[in-house]
A and B are shown apart, each in its own frame.
Chain A
Amino acid sequence: MLNKQGRQTDIVNLTELPQDSFATHSGNRGLEQDELLIYEIGDTERTGVDLEEVENFENRLGGITREDKIGLAGLSEPETMRHYTRLSRMNYAIDMGLYPLGSCTMKHNPRINEKVARLPGLADIHPLQPMSTVQGALEAMDKLAHWLKTLTGMPAIAMSPKAGAHGELCGLMAIRAALDKRGENRSIVLAPESAHGTNPATATLCGYKVKSIPATENGHVDLEALKEALGPDVAAIMLTNPNTCGLFERDVIEIADAVHDIGGYFYCDGANFNAIVGKVRPGDLGVDAMHINLHKTFSTPHGGGGPGAGPVVLSEALAPFAPVPYVVHSKQGFALVEHMEDGSDSFGRMTAFHGQMGMNIRALAFMMSHGSDGLARVAEDSVLNANYVMASLQDDMTVSYPGPCMHECLFDDRFLNGSGIATLDFAKAMIDEGYHPMTMYFPLVVHGAMLIEPTESESKQSLDQFIGSLRHLVAEAKAGNTELFSGAPYLAPLRRLDETLAARKPVLRWTKPE
C-alpha cells in the first residue's frame, strides 16, 4: 500500500486478509482495543486500594450510615489509567486532523497559549486572594477587555459570562433591564430561520416570545418580512453575522436602523466573529450587544467538558446595565468592582467569581502573538480557505447559495438526489476517510445541509487531501456504490450506531447482566 505521498508503507496487502472473518479471541483489532465499560473491567465486589481498618473507630453519623453497597467498580491504578487512555485514543480531535464542523470553528489551539496560561503567577492564583497580590492577573483581564472593545468598536464589556450561550443570556438580560428602566414591557424577540438554536432558547428563557423571520432564496434575512414583523412589541432582534449559511448580511445597517426606529435593540450572535475580526467592527453596524466565543475567534480550547468563555460587548445604550464584576484601574493599581453601587442600573451578577481566567489568558496570548495585522489575517485566511473548499467542490456537490462565502460554505443534498444516499450516510463515509464529518442538517433553511468550516489553521495541502476525499466519495455515490455509504463507518472502532434506538430508548444506567 502507498501512503498519501505515494511512499510504500506496508509489507502485507491488507485487502488479501479475510475481513469480517478475522475474529480475534480478545475482540481487539491489532492494537486497536475493544474497550469495555469501566464496570465490565472492574467489579463491584473488589477494590483497587486497600485501606487499613481503623482501630477504635467511633461512628458519629447516628442513624444515617449507608448500609447497602455503593456499587462502584473497583479497579487497580493501571487498569484505570489504561481504560481512560484507550478511550482518549478513540477521540477525534483538532490535534489529530482537519475538523470541518461548520459553525463550530474547530481551529488549532496554539501551544504558546497553553504555555502562558500555565505560568504559575496566572495558573496558581485564587479568586479570593487579596487584590494587591493579583495585580498582573487583573491587568491581563483589563487588557483583554480593552482589546475586545477595540476590535468590536463597543464601549463596554462584561467579562464574566462562561460560554457563548451564557453571553447571549447576559446580552438579553441587559436588554430586558434597559426596557424595564424605560417602563416598557415588550414581549417579542425576532430571530431568523437560520439562527443558532441557542438564540430562541435564550429569548424564551428571558420570557420573550420568539418570532421567526424567513430567509430569502439567497440565504439572507428577508428584509421586507423583517420590517413587517417590527412593531412596538418587539424587544430585540437576534442576528448572526456572518450568518449560518456562511454569508455576510449586507442589509445589516438597515436592519439595525429599522430595529432602533421602533425602540428595539440589536443583539448580534458573535459566533462567527472569526470571519470579520480585524476587518469589521460590529459597533459600526449598529449592534447593541454581542457575545464573543473566545474558543472560536481567539482559539481557546473547545468543548470536551472544559470551560468556555463568552464575554459580551455592549453599546452606549446598554452599558449602564452591564453585570458586575468588572475591572477598574487608577493610580493605586487595578481593582475589581464586585458589588453594585447604590443607584446602579446593573442587572446584577451572573457568576460566582470573575469568569474563566484560563480562557481569558489564552485568548489574550492569541491576540498578542498575532497583533492587529495577524488578527486581520485570521479573518482573511479563514474566508480564503472556505472559498477554496467551496470552489473546489462546486462541480461535485451542490452549493446552496452562490459564493463567495465567508468563513464556512454550505452544501445541500441535491447532488445525492436519486442515489438513495442521505446526508447522514455521506457523513458516516467521511469517518472511513479519516475525517470528522461536517455539520449535518444545520442550518435548517436548506435540505440535507452540509456545512463545512475549514478555519484558517489548514494548509493548502491539508485542504487538497480533504477535497480529494470528498470528490472520491461523491464519485462513488454517483456511480451507485451505495454500500460504501449505507453501512459506513466500516473502519471506525464501532460501526453504524442505531441513533434512533439510542434516542428513543436510551440506556442511561449500567446494570449487571443476569
Chain B
Amino acid sequence: MTTYYSEEHEWITVEGDSGTVGITDYAQNALGDIVFVEVPEVGNSYDKGDEIAVVESVKAASEIYAPISGEVIAVNDALEDEPALVNAQAETDGWFYKVTISDADELKELMDADGYKAFTAGLE
C-alpha cells in the first residue's frame, strides 16, 4: 500500500489495481471549514487532470482534479452529511472516491510523501 501526492494537493493510496483518492491535510487547512463536497458518480470514467469533484469551504469553491485516469468504483457517501470529515481526517476517513488504475505509469508522475512535504514547504 503506497500513497502518492499530486501538485494539486490530492492523495491516492494504491492497493493492487485500484486506489483511494482524497485531498491532503495541507489542502483542507488552506481551504478552511469545508461545507460541501460533491463526489463523482460511480461508474463514470475520468482522465488524469479532469475535474472530478468540487469542494466548497466558507472561503471558496475549488475543483478537485483526478490524480489518475480510471473508473470510479466507490464514493464516500458520508461526506454528503458530514463534509467536516475532510477537515478532521483529510487523509483517512475524509476520502473522496475509489478508482481503478487504468495506467500505472501515471503514478510515476506523482510525488511520494517526502516529495510532497518538500513541495508544500516551498509554497509557504
Contacts and interface: CB of A to CB of B under 8 A. Distances in A.
B59 A504 contact: no
B60 A444 contact: yes
Nearest to B30: A447
B33 interface: yes
A36 interface: no
A500 interface: yes
B60 A503 contact: no
Contacts of B58: 424, 499-500, 503
Interface string B84-111: 1000000000000000000000000000
A441 interface: yes
Interface string A477-509: 000000000000000000000011001100000
B36 A441 contact: no
B22 interface: no
Contacts of A424: 58-59
A contact residues, range? 10 to 19
B35 A503 contact: yes
Interface string B52-80: 00001011100000000000000000000
Contact of A504 (B30, B60, B83): B83
Contacts of A500: 33, 35, 58, 84
B contact residues, range? 10 to 19
Interface in A421-480: 424, 440-442, 444, 447
Contacts of A441: 59-60
Nearest to A448: B59
B113 to A, nearest CB: 24
A34 to B, nearest CB: 26
Contacts of A440: 59
Contacts of A447: 30
B59 A503 contact: no
Contacts of B30: 447
Contacts of A442: 60
Interface string A23-54: 00000000000000000000000000000000
Interface in B15-65: 30, 33, 35-36, 56, 58-60
A424 B58 CA distance: 10
A289 to B, nearest CB: 26
A442 B35 CA distance: 18
Contacts of B33: 499-500, 503
A503 B58 CA distance: 8
Nearest to B83: A504
Max chain A CB contacts within 10 Å: which of B30, B36, B58?
B58
A440 B58 CA distance: 11
Contacts of B60: 441-442, 444
B32 to A, nearest CB: 8
Nearest to B56: A503
Contacts of B36: 503-504
A500 B88 CA distance: 14
Nearest to B35: A503
A444 B32 CA distance: 14
A273 B94 CA distance: 44
Max chain B CB contacts within 10 Å: which of A441, A499, A500?
A500
B65 to A, nearest CB: 11
Nearest to B124: A417
B119 to A, nearest CB: 16
A499 B56 CA distance: 13
A244 to B, nearest CB: 13
B23 to A, nearest CB: 16
A486 to B, nearest CB: 15
Contacts of A499: 33, 58
Contacts of B35: 500, 503-504
B76 to A, nearest CB: 16
Nearest to B61: A197
Interface string A5-21: 00000000000000000
B115 to A, nearest CB: 22
Nearest to A441: B59
A99 B96 CA distance: 40
Nearest to A442: B60
Nearest to A209: B51
A424 B33 CA distance: 12
A319 B36 CA distance: 42
Max chain B CB contacts within 10 Å: which of A441, A444, A447, A504?
A504
B9 to A, nearest CB: 14
A504 B81 CA distance: 9
Contacts of B56: 503
A447 B124 CA distance: 10
A424 B60 CA distance: 13
Nearest to A500: B33
Interface of B: 30, 33, 35-36, 56, 58-60, 83-84
Given A444-B60, A447-B30, A503-B56, 9 more contacts: A441-B59, A441-B60, A442-B60, A499-B58, A500-B33, A503-B33, A503-B35, A503-B58, A504-B36
16 contacts: A424-B58, A424-B59, A440-B59, A441-B59, A441-B60, A442-B60, A499-B58, A500-B33, A500-B84, A503-B33, A503-B36, A503-B56, A503-B58, A504-B35, A504-B36, A504-B83
Closest 6 CB pairs of A and B: A503-B35, A500-B33, A441-B59, A499-B58, A504-B35, A500-B58
Interface of A: 424, 440-442, 444, 447, 499-500, 503-504
